[in-house]
Structure 1
Amino acid sequence: MPTPAPPRTTDELYEALRENDRRPYGRPRTVTAEELVDAAERFEEPVPLVHALLELQEAYTYGSEPRKSPVVFARLLTLFDERPGLFDDRLRHTLFWRFKWVANALLALPEVPLTGLRQWLTEMRDRYEKAGLGLQPYYGQAYQLAAHLGEDTTAAYELWAGRTRTPLSDCEACETCERARHHLAAGDDERALAVWEPVLAGQESCQEEPARSVSYALLPLLRTGRADRARALHLAGYRGCRRNPSMAGEVGRHLEFCALTGNEARGLELLAENRALFDEVDSPRDLLDFLTGVEVLLSRVDHLGHGELPAAGYAGRAWTVAALRAEIRGRADDLAARFDTRNGTSAHADRRRARLDREPLLDALELTLRPRALDDLAPTAPPAAPAPRTRPDLPEPLPELILRARELDERGDPDARTCWTRLRALATAPGYTHPDDPAVGPLARLRADLLADEANRAGDRDDFAVAAALHEEAAGLYEDAGRPGEAAVCRGCAELATAELPAPDPATKTAALTAAHAALVRLHEENPGLAPHLEARLLRLRATVLGLRLQTSGSRGHVAPVLAEAELLLDFAGRHGIAAQVSGGLLLRASAHALAGDLPAAVAETDALLARLRAAGPAWHLPRTLGLRGRLRLGLGDPEAAHTDLTEALRLAADRSDDAVGTARLHGDLAEACMHLGRPDEALRHLTRSAELDLRGGSRTDAFRTYSNAARLSLDLGRVEDCIALLDSLLAEPDVAAGEMDDRLVAQLRLTRARALHTGDDLKAATAEFAALAAESAGWDDDPGSHAMIAAETAVLLGESGEFDRARKAVDQAIAAHAREPRYEQLSGCLRELARLQAQQEGAEGLSGARAFLSDAARIADEARAAGYEAHGRPLDAALAYEHGRVDAYAGAYEEALTALERALGLLGEPEPGEPGRAGEWAECVRLAGAVEGVYLERTDSALARLDAAVARLTALGQEEHTEPLTVLAARLRDER
């Protein structure tokens, strides 16, 4: 963003240039660079102007504004010609390096004539020769021009690649990419990939690599059967170029990769994320590359029959896939023609045609933990009416369909929902005519049926306010249709939904449920003579509301009323042969035992119910009952049996609608069983499946919570890029972007993403996200502890970047929040880590700052001791003493370091049998003390005595795995003596 005021001194100017250098490339950074050039021109000293112009050229180059970069360079070249003494060795190196930038900028502009390109290369060669510089960089640019023109590049390649590199040659990673692309153009995928391997493996990198190489290597990897490698590199490589105007071409190749691997839906998501590139990319060459990749994707989507899907395109209008495809085709064809006209070849049109003619390389390649199909992106009906599974036995004539739906609903068969979904589509279609059939009844009754079904779906996704309102509306329509019994049941459902609305505390919720039960009893009494299936439903509601009360309160006194109501239901349903309500009552009874803590009794109930269901049905209750027994067995510590039950439940649920049998819950419970069994990868699959089912069913909050768990698990498994890709997809959801999702849940997603970025060594991006979260969480007055944790993590990342002044401010925020809601262990660990980082990075100069962090940690330890807090890991005092030793050692204060380490050893105490964790901590403390004493203080005998005694102690305890670092150090000391 623009600087608030022009720099008044050259020192302020240099500081502003450093600050701008930390910003991402784009218009804000470029505008600031322009302002700083204006400011530099006001100083009499010209050197600051040179620095400002270099910053501006960099901003133009990496902000995809190639038309402006040569203009700035011309000013720099003039300054160099007029006053070469202004340029020290570093500035002179930078100036000659950027001849290549200008060559690339001119190449990207079709309005620059071919003679102009060749003249610039001649200028570069002459300047290099005059300066006594090697010509390999010049021949590199000559090769790139030949490749751009589509000429035979054999000679140009040999003149460049056969020469010895010079200090002004492109970096190893960039030159590797050019060599590999040369072989790729020749059709030799294997050789190209062999050349690329050091870059793809991360052994060579720069600002644009390996992201650029990855984008070109994706299709060769697929063509040579390396799909898993392509998948992994797509995830990492895309993150390196997303939303970056100077890497628009790379983004286009990732979109092409999605289109050719059956991931068209992901491609459209990534296109939406990069929508700004349509307007931000000012480089015609990059824009052509980007648009061609976009067109490959859109052509594939259109070919699959989804041309009417919405697509993110140029600002100012809403686009469909087909319309955007047509628009892009015209623009890209024009760009290719302009380049070919300038170049006198057909190379760009030919390359474009070759990309557009490619056939898919794989039918399906699962790229992310959230695989999606194009159907998932289509505009859908409201969440209350998800698309039904196909039922071959579904009657089509309207009267029969209505009667069939009511029959299934009366029996409690979940397949009724499929019928109601079909009926909703028919009844809301233009021109609907209601059957004139007494058996069907009036339209008001059908409308009431559909509202009741919609209300039940809203309740399933915990949208209780909507459920209550819909039930009340349905009750009124039932009254109008002369169906008072159904109206009474709907009013009972409305009572239950209202009682389930969120409450400020459990006591309030318990009171609401108690009142709802009383209202249901009155409703039952006020409606005598109900049809048996309707009366059974009211009894079920009465038992359910008391079950929810028990779940909320956990009171032993609330167990007996649930069991009593369940008995009433069982007696009534048994007398009238209502099988679904009998099994429902038995499920309630089993759940009550479970809530009361009597898990064996609950399992016995489910065993009996399962035997009954297998013998007499109804079959649709088997999945839910098996799911309950699976959860009970998890509670009893038998995950293997739980896994068996839950797997069978999912198998039986496969033929029924997901929401009718709670398939999402089954997947979630199975994930928990898998974790207990040490199968985290299997657990991850079930978590993501559970989340996607909740999302499709409209339970977005539940879905995002489950996805959050999946993201954390994937991070724990070391699947960093999977974690980031999943979170990027979730955070791009429209309701998240619009701020409509729960802000704390979104913050948790962002926090996990920031941690994943840190784990993936993207320190800059991680620090930016943590800093943003720390600023936002400062306003969480109801949760200062979370702010303390986030601010502390932010401070550590700033410390890793060497920004200790900013780290100090962040940790002060954490300390202030900790005073309101203590986080002793987390904050102590943060302060100790900051002290270590500062001493390690700055040595003696950083000692005072490091000790200030340790002083704060000492106060935290004192507070914890006074509060009776016991750390889960090392005792805070011992950890603090050890860190004092490390900090002093890094700073060269070896006597103080040894004193601190001996204090730490005293606080830790020698390990005892059965304490492997403490043995490791103690051994590390002994090792550091021995190093300080023997290596730096040169008290070899004392150090060896210490180390030998520790090795003997650990050996006697059977902890030989901790002795190796001690024996290695002892051997070194003996050798040196």
Structure 2
Amino acid sequence: MPTAPQTTDELYRALQENDRRPYGRTRTVTAEELVDAAEQFGEPVPLIHALLELQEAYTYGSEPRKSPVVFARLLTLFDEQPDVFDERLRHLLFWRFKWVSNALRQLPEIPLASLRQWLAEMRDRYEKAGLALQPYYGQVYQLAAHVGEDTALAYELWAGRARTRLSDCEACEICERARYHLVAGDDERALRVWEPVLAGKESCQEEPARSVSYALLPLLRTGRSERARELHLAGYRACRRNPAMSGEVGRHLEFCALTGNEARGLELLAENRNLFDEVDSPLDQFDFLTGVEVLLTRVEQLGHGELPAAGWAGRTWTVAGLRAEVGRRADDLAARFDARNGTTAHADRRRARLERAPLLDALELTLRTRSLDDVAPAAPAAVPASRTADAVPESLPELILHARALEEQGHPDARLLWARLRTLVAAGDYTHPDDAAVGPLVLLRADLLADEADRAGQKDEFTEAAALHEEAAALYDDAGAPGQAALSRACALLARAQLAPDTGTGAEADAGGVEAKAAALSDAHARMVRLHEQATDLAPYVEARLLRLRATVLGLRLQTTRDEEHAAPVLAEADRLHTFAVRHDIATQISGALLLRVSTRALTGDLPGAVAGIDELLERLRAHGPAWHLPRTLGLRGRLQLGLHDAQAAYTDLTEGLRLAADWPAHTADTGRLHGDLAEACMHLGRPEEALRHLSRAAEVQLRHGSRMEALCTYSNAARLSLDLGHIEDSIALLDSLLAEPDVAAGELDDRLTAQLRLTRARALHAGEDLKAATAEFVALAAESSAWDDDPGSHAMIAGETAVLLAESGEFARAREAADQAIAAHARAPRYEQLSNCLRELARLQAKQQGPDGLSDALGFLTDAGRVADEARAAGFEAAGRPLDIALAYEHGRVHAYAGTYEEALAALEKGLSLLGDTGPQGEHAGEWAECVRLAAAVEGIYLERPAPALARLDEAVTRLTALGHTEEAEPLTSLAAQLRDEA
């Protein structure tokens, strides 16, 4: 707190401001400071308010030891000066007897006799105050349930009584009743009782998150796995990182462990690492740690005890090490509670949770499904021997020779053999074979470097690839293999040519970048040709690869410039490669040459010619191989069909490509690309759910094979599609997972991609009606994007959306500031339609919430929107939705209607109708026209009390719309007409 309040008015304002903060140390410390400030005024009422705020901060900040102390001060004030407690303060005081009961139960050092004595105090106070005892009996039941006594009588004494104003809220009582049936083993009855809370009909500070955490396992046991999945996503988000709901987090971890989602459980554990140190309640600690142990035990049982795990700060933990420490601490807590209570209830409950068997082998919880193998260090892949010409040799010399033979063929399993050899060579006891056929160790090291360079190039890590190729070339020279050295140097030339030149930003820089890139590729080709011409004694497969590189670099130049003059040189090199490969019967390079021809035709716009060429290639591949080229070739044919707008043919090709790709390593067939293209085909075919599955799988493959940026972009697209489909919690869960990645959280990722992930998440939070969280994220994004000098248009969009969310929260001054930022950014990079939509919505919200008091400011927003519409008209901009002038006229009408200036509203709507004109036979703007008529008639007939002209307007519009076949648009008008006639 920067400055202590100097007056009671300042104190009350500070208390209100603190009340808006989330529970946690900042709010608690501020509440403590405000109590100190209140004591200086010497007035009881301000002190009472400050103490109430402090007790609330302790209660919901998981500090149960301090809550009763504060309440004792309040109770003393009440006993000394009862008259200063008005009805509201008195109600709060008696309500919080329950808070103290709950706090004392959480502390095993408080004797059971003291708990019962406090309940007796509560009963005595309630009786003296003339209050009904249902809240007291509720606390008696909860103590019995906590201790592990027979709860039947206590339950009836509580649940059989009528609720009072001081009873726990309906949602909390529903949870207690449901848990009673759950302990009795009646899952179905418990879920029936819980339904109003789980459905969101009853809620409070802790509900439905608390109920959801308990209902997850009964939902699984009764076969409602999809419902459990949905509630897990929403419920977890409501309690994550919250010390006061650590027990709920523990139950979500347990749910992950029992549904085959151990990897997600470890991810959620890492996200809640703060709970190990910030939970001051022993009972909450006990619940949390037991859930953690269920998860860690399951991970250990699956053979992953050495995986890293998030635990107490100050130490690096493995799953096994953390499990042991968690078990020790949770056992100690159970023993302390049972010693206090004189039962074995807590040890028994703990044992029951730890002994539960998994309820499902696998339940797909999120769009980002990962297994423990995905989070474990990658192990060298085994080579499926059935795909190679011979079984994988056991002897080292034969293994080296076999790897080289597969490399010459371009066989995908060569990479797996190189990985195996790399591990062997790196071992301290490696001894190189003394075999002339194998050659010296330096030759093998060159082979391994060349493979590593190829893998770096496939990940677009061109700087590293070039350096590795150059290093391999030097080793090949040392090994007396000049042909291989020339090939590695040519690969280095290609890698360097693909590095993006630094030409600044903006359109001119983009054009300069294309020119510079094309020049670099041309230079690389010239150097390759010289390198090729100077090389001697080249093996056919090496020379074929050099020819392939020459054609490839020119193909990349064509792809960069899209200049048709660059097509002929590519085809010439492809023909040269094809002739050579046919002469030497090199199947891989024959296929490569034909594929280059197809790609060149596609790049020059000859899609039918490209399809014909690829059909010829597919026929050859099926007859002569290589078979591993089929999936990628079918993928290209699918993309060509998408270009020809034949989504069904594309879907067929891509599906077949994926089926065949299953026989080969993912990098060979580029399964990530196949899934991504299939997602596009599915969207064209109206199958968005299937598209979402393919996007998720594409991202998984990309991430697994090191294409991290590409994977995150694909996941971002999946999150947006999920949001568009209304799968709000799925979208948020995916984005939370991505944003929790170490490099993302540390700010090491591309800042614009991170911003896009956060923007989608903010929109999802808004769609999920979490306005507070959504607004906070938008405000932060607006502040960050204001520094994007190279992209003011994005800042305009973000600032505009931020303004709308602030307005929804009633913060119109801040909304005006954000809107002004959007307008300023729009001046540099116009976003006509987006900004117009934002300004009109701001006007609507202000007029709706503030009525006549907000009219002037609302009209100010519409004036700004009018200027945007004028600018758009002058620039020849056409909106994708309603024309901006028409939308503006309609909004003028709606704003004036909210403000009660009905004549102005009607005039504005009349203007909107005149701008729209008569709705045409094709239904141009039929919906907008009908809505404008409806609102004009409502203003005229209801608010201006002129039903006759309003009915005439409606009848004429209904007749016109019906005659044109727009019966759906006519229905609201017919309904309004009937209402006006009934009221006449």
Give the corresponding residue for 2:507.
Answer: none
Determine the C-alpha separation between the residues in 2 that align with 1:12 and 1:401.
81
Determine the C-alpha separation between the residues in 1 that align with 2:797 and 2:450.
46
Q: Does 2:811 match 1:803?
A: yes
8 A Cα contact 2:483 2:536, kept in partner = no
1:964 corresponds to which of 951, 961, 971: 971
Give the corresponding residue for 1:327.
Answer: 325
Determine the C-alpha separation between the residues in 2 that align with 1:125 and 1:39.
34
Give the corresponding residue for 2:875.
Answer: 867
8 A Cα contact 1:37 1:53, kept in partner = yes
Give the corresponding residue for 2:506.
Answer: none
Give the corresponding residue for 2:802.
Answer: 794
Give the corresponding residue for 2:936.
Answer: 929
Determine the C-alpha separation between the residues in 2 that align with 1:362 and 1:742.
38
Q: Does 2:705 match 1:697?
A: yes
1:380-431 deviation per Cα after TM superposition (whole angstroms, max 9, x unaligned): 37xxxx6355445322211111111111111111121111111112111221
Q: Does 2:723 match 1:679?
A: no
Determine the C-alpha separation between the residues in 1 that align with 2:99 and 2:583.
88
**Matched position secondary structure for 2:693:** helix
Determine the C-alpha separation between the residues in 2 that align with 1:59 and 1:315.
24
Give the corresponding residue for 2:430.
Answer: 432
Determine the C-alpha separation between the residues in 2 that align with 1:953 and 1:42.
74
Structure 1 segments of 4+ aligned residues over 3 angstroms from their partners: 386-392
Determine the C-alpha separation between the residues in 2 that align with 1:792 and 1:391.
59
Give the corresponding residue for 2:509.
Answer: none
Give the corresponding residue for 1:134.
Answer: 132
2:569 corresponds to which of 561, 568, 574: 561
8 A Cα contact 1:53 1:76, kept in partner = yes
**Relative to 1, partners in 2 of residues 1:427 and 1:774: Cα closer, same or farther, differing over 3 Å?**
same
8 A Cα contact 2:253 2:265, kept in partner = yes
1:474 aligned partner, one-letter code: A
**Matched position secondary structure for 2:364:** coil
Alignment of structure 1 residues 257-656 onto 2, 5 Å = 257-380=255-378, 387-388=381-382, 390-391=384-385, 393-503=391-501, 504=503, 505-656=513-664
Determine the C-alpha separation between the residues in 2 that align with 1:721 and 1:396.
51
Determine the C-alpha separation between the residues in 2 that align with 1:737 and 1:801.
28
**Offset at residue 704 of structure 1 (A):** 0.4
Q: Does 2:730 match 1:732?
A: no
**Offset at residue 863 of structure 1 (A):** 2.0
Give the corresponding residue for 1:974.
Answer: 981
Q: Does 2:952 match 1:945?
A: yes
Determine the C-alpha separation between the residues in 2 that align with 1:11 and 1:440.
88
8 A Cα contact 2:383 2:417, kept in partner = no
TM-score (norm 2): 0.97
**Matched position secondary structure for 1:963:** helix
1:945 aligned partner, one-letter code: A
**Offset at residue 48 of structure 1 (A):** 2.3
Give the corresponding residue for 1:193.
Answer: 191
1:777-832 deviation per Cα after TM superposition (whole angstroms, max 9, x unaligned): 11111111111111111111111111112211211211121111111111111111
1:236-286 deviation per Cα after TM superposition (whole angstroms, max 9, x unaligned): 111111111000000000100111111111111110000000000000000
1:343-362 deviation per Cα after TM superposition (whole angstroms, max 9, x unaligned): 11111111111111111111
1:963 aligned partner, one-letter code: A
State which drifts further: 840-849 or 753-762. 840-849
Alignment of structure 1 residues 195-234 onto 2, 5 Å = 195-234=193-232
Give the corresponding residue for 1:660.
Answer: 668
**Offset at residue 18 of structure 1 (A):** 2.0
**Offset at residue 536 of structure 1 (A):** 0.8
Cα RMSD (Å):
1.2
Determine the C-alpha separation between the residues in 1 that align with 2:936 and 2:44.
54
8 A Cα contact 1:389 1:657, kept in partner = no
Give the corresponding residue for 2:837.
Answer: 829
Give the corresponding residue for 2:48.
Answer: 50
Determine the C-alpha separation between the residues in 2 that align with 1:818 and 1:83.
61
1:807-866 deviation per Cα after TM superposition (whole angstroms, max 9, x unaligned): 112112111211111111111111111111111112122222212221221222222222
Determine the C-alpha separation between the residues in 1 that align with 2:572 and 2:923.
52
8 A Cα contact 1:794 1:807, kept in partner = yes
**Matched position secondary structure for 1:308:** coil
Determine the C-alpha separation between the residues in 2 that align with 1:535 and 1:891.
81
TM-score (norm 1): 0.98
8 A Cα contact 1:252 1:291, kept in partner = yes
Percentage of pairs with the same residue: 77
**Offset at residue 47 of structure 1 (A):** 2.2
Determine the C-alpha separation between the residues in 1 that align with 2:850 and 2:607.
59
Determine the C-alpha separation between the residues in 1 that align with 2:382 and 2:52.
62
**Matched position secondary structure for 1:34:** helix
**Offset at residue 16 of structure 1 (A):** 2.0
8 A Cα contact 2:699 2:715, kept in partner = yes
**Relative to 1, partners in 2 of residues 1:226 and 1:508: Cα closer, same or farther, differing over 3 Å?**
same
Q: Does 2:120 match 1:122?
A: yes
1:594-623 deviation per Cα after TM superposition (whole angstroms, max 9, x unaligned): 000000010011000111111111111111
Give the corresponding residue for 1:247.
Answer: 245
**Matched position secondary structure for 2:239:** coil
Give the corresponding residue for 2:750.
Answer: 742
**Offset at residue 91 of structure 1 (A):** 1.8
8 A Cα contact 2:804 2:841, kept in partner = yes
1:547-593 deviation per Cα after TM superposition (whole angstroms, max 9, x unaligned): 11111111111111111111111111111111110100100110000
Alignment of structure 1 residues 865-904 onto 2, 5 Å = 865-904=873-912
8 A Cα contact 1:388 1:657, kept in partner = no
**Offset at residue 175 of structure 1 (A):** 0.4
Determine the C-alpha separation between the residues in 2 that align with 1:17 and 1:501.
57
1:319-341 deviation per Cα after TM superposition (whole angstroms, max 9, x unaligned): 01111111011111111111111
Determine the C-alpha separation between the residues in 2 that align with 1:206 and 1:442.
74
**Matched position secondary structure for 1:452:** helix
Determine the C-alpha separation between the residues in 1 that align with 2:957 and 2:561.
54
1:547 aligned partner, one-letter code: G
**Offset at residue 45 of structure 1 (A):** 3.8
8 A Cα contact 1:388 1:421, kept in partner = no
**Offset at residue 300 of structure 1 (A):** 0.8
Determine the C-alpha separation between the residues in 1 that align with 2:416 and 2:896.
71
**Offset at residue 512 of structure 1 (A):** 1.2
Determine the C-alpha separation between the residues in 1 that align with 2:10 and 2:883.
46
1:131-150 deviation per Cα after TM superposition (whole angstroms, max 9, x unaligned): 22111111111100000010
**Offset at residue 82 of structure 1 (A):** 2.1
2:759 aligned partner, one-letter code: L
Alignment of structure 1 residues 12-23 onto 2, 5 Å = 12-23=10-21
**Relative to 1, partners in 2 of residues 1:669 and 1:485: Cα closer, same or farther, differing over 3 Å?**
same
**Offset at residue 44 of structure 1 (A):** 4.1
1:870-892 deviation per Cα after TM superposition (whole angstroms, max 9, x unaligned): 21111112111111111111111
